[in-house]
Amino acid sequence: MDIKLLKELKRYSFDELKNIFEKDDEELRDLLKNLSLMNIVKYLKSCSKFELDELLDEDFKLNDKFDDYVFKYVGIIVVGNICLVIYPKYIEDEKADKNYEILKQLISVIRKYQSKQQNIGFDEELELENFNLLSIVLELIYSYYEHGLYINENDIIEQNGEGEICWEKTINETTAYFSNNIPFYLDTFTFNQKSNKEDFFTLLHAFVLSEGCKKLKDILNILNILNISPINLSLAKLDNFGSIEFIINRLNQELSTQFITYRQNILKLLKRYIEQDSIKKTSSDISFVGTSSFNLVWEDVCSKVLDNSLEKSLKKLGLRGNDGNEFLKDIIPKPKWRDVKTSSIHEATKTLIPDIVTINNDELSIYDAKYYTTILNKKEAKNTPGIGDITKQYFYKMTYEDFARKNNISIKHNAFLMPTCKSSANLVGNVSLNLPGYKNLNIIDVILLPTCKMYEYYLANKTICIKIDRDKKDVIL
């Protein structure tokens, strides 16, 4: 099986993809059609201007030719005997990933984000319509490494064990010795739990793990780059467990009585694996592990690493707001609609919410995590946030100014945060908007954050604080 390295949202011509996939025209069109139906591949010629704005970093004109394809995906896609490794768009050279260290970290970050979203598998949006053998088997393997096989314990009573004493059986069936009219028992019966290795679900779990690894043998050999090894625990066949309908019914019954989260997840994965024939809707030789929404992953990374305080209560932060303000995000007002006839006021249920607001050492900072590949230098300003993003950041600053004054804290930073594959953070520039009557809007900084460090902190549940040295035009994490 060949590994091909690609980049998210990079434009590829039909001929380039022919060389990569080593297929003829008809085979490649069928493959691209399937990937397009799964929203993994976009054919630019069929995209609207709005879609092109979102997909393409470079400036374009509507009369430009868009006879190219882009992969809106980050992760691994296995197509027949080809393994596509698709790196995020901010990676400068996808071929420079020595020993796949960047890929390993990326997959770990995506897994953590999606486990937080309580998704079973790697891309719930894609898997709703397409059976994805690779992601299901990988999740089962990761779960097995962490928890072992699915186990049901049987309650047993044993003699002189280490569990809680069963007094009724001990009193009725053993000899009591008395000292000062106090009974002592040299032998006791105790409660314990014994794992049932022959349990239906234990055996089914071992079978699915073994069969799944066997089906994906070639792929898992390649995925040794992720420190994943095939598992072989069972020689059983699916027929040994009964009909598919019977197995599904047993799994549903077990799910209804199982309240431990990781065990519920195992049962759900087993059920999806067993149901594969009925839910499979596209070619079975396409499997994937990753995400089509890496922008959301980046936002979550920035939010967690910078210790976002939006969802924290003002009481916990030791701050005070207006009446009815319980959380830091509640400081932002909601629109109020007034009926001119009755003067009735109706407050909207929603308002604008910033990505990240942090409070450190009596300093408040407002950040917008942008999954952009911004270029800002002497020659050009390219792939920058739009006017809507800029005005929202100013709105947030104005909203929090009064709150900051009341609590004797200062607004330290207002900035866009973007990813970079470089090893250190970089203050590349800023943006300003001169509005008559608003002299204190100040600038909005543009900061590039090193993804290697941000992901490391994210995976280790560590938080940091951004410091800007304006004299040196430097950012310190």
Q: Could you tell me if residue 139 is inside a domain?
A: yes
pLDDT at 57: 56
Q: Please identify, among 262, 284, 306, the residue that sits at the C-terminal boundary of a domain.
A: 284
Q: Could you tell me if residue 366 is inside a domain?
A: yes
Residues 331 and 417 in one domain: yes
pLDDT at 56: 61
Is 1 a residue whose pLDDT tops 50? yes
Per-residue pLDDT tens over the stretch 265-300: 999 999 989 987 555 544 456 788 899 999 999 999
- Is residue 179 very low, low, confident or very high in pLDDT (cuts 50, 70, 90)? confident
Mean pLDDT is lowest, of 80-89, 240-249, 327-336, for 80-89
356 vs 85: CA distance, rounded Å: 31
Residues 185 and 247 in one domain: no
188 vs 226: CA distance, rounded Å: 50
Strand partners, 352: none
Residues 469 and 362 in one domain: yes
- Judge whether 266 and 206 are in contact, CB under 8 Å: no
pLDDT at 65: 54
3-state secondary structure of 52: helix
Chain center to CA of 461: 14
Calculated CA dihedral for residues 420, 353, 332, 383, nearest 10 degrees: 50
At 19, list the tokens.
């060389």
Instruction: Name the DSSP class of 471.
Output: T
Residues 85 and 128 in one domain: no
Q: Could you tell me if residue 131 is inside a domain?
A: yes
Q: How many domains does the chain have?
A: 4
Is 394 a residue whose pLDDT tops 50? yes
Q: Could you tell me if residue 449 is inside a domain?
A: yes
Residues 210 and 357 in one domain: no
- Is residue 115 very low, low, confident or very high in pLDDT (cuts 50, 70, 90)? confident
Strands of 163-209 (E only): list them: 176-179, 182-185, 189-195
Residues 262 and 386 in one domain: no
Residues 402 and 330 in one domain: yes
447: containing domain: 295-476
pLDDT at 178: 86
- Is residue 54 very low, low, confident or very high in pLDDT (cuts 50, 70, 90)? low
Q: Could you tell me if residue 101 is inside a domain?
A: no
Q: Please identify, among 254, 284, 314, the residue that sits at the C-terminal boundary of a domain.
A: 284
Strand partners, 356: 367
pLDDT at 180: 86
Mean pLDDT is lowest, of 76-85, 138-147, 185-194, 272-281, for 272-281
Per-residue pLDDT tens over the stretch 292-331: 999 999 999 999 999 999 999 999 999 988 776 789 999 9
3-state secondary structure of 217: helix
At 206, list the tokens.
């071992």
Per-residue pLDDT tens over the stretch 330-380: 999 999 999 999 999 999 999 999 999 999 989 999 999 999 999 999 999
388 to each of 77, 304, 442, how far by Cα in Å? 35, 25, 17
Residues 261 and 122 in one domain: yes
Residues 458 and 372 in one domain: yes
Residues 123 and 233 in one domain: yes
Residues 416 and 437 in one domain: yes
Per-residue pLDDT tens over the stretch 245-266: 999 999 999 999 888 889 999 9
The rounded mean pLDDT for the chain is 86
Which of residues 28 and 61 earns the better pLDDT score? 28
Residues 79 and 138 in one domain: no
pLDDT at 118: 59
Q: Could you tell me if residue 290 is inside a domain?
A: no
Q: Could you tell me if residue 446 is inside a domain?
A: yes
Q: Please identify, among 135, 170, 195, the residue that sits at the C-terminal boundary of a domain.
A: 195
> pTM of the entire structure?
0.79
Average pLDDT over residues 105-122: 78
Q: Could you tell me if residue 289 is inside a domain?
A: no
Is 119 a residue whose pLDDT tops 60? no
The radius of gyration of the chain from alpha carbons, rounded to an integer in Å, stands at 29
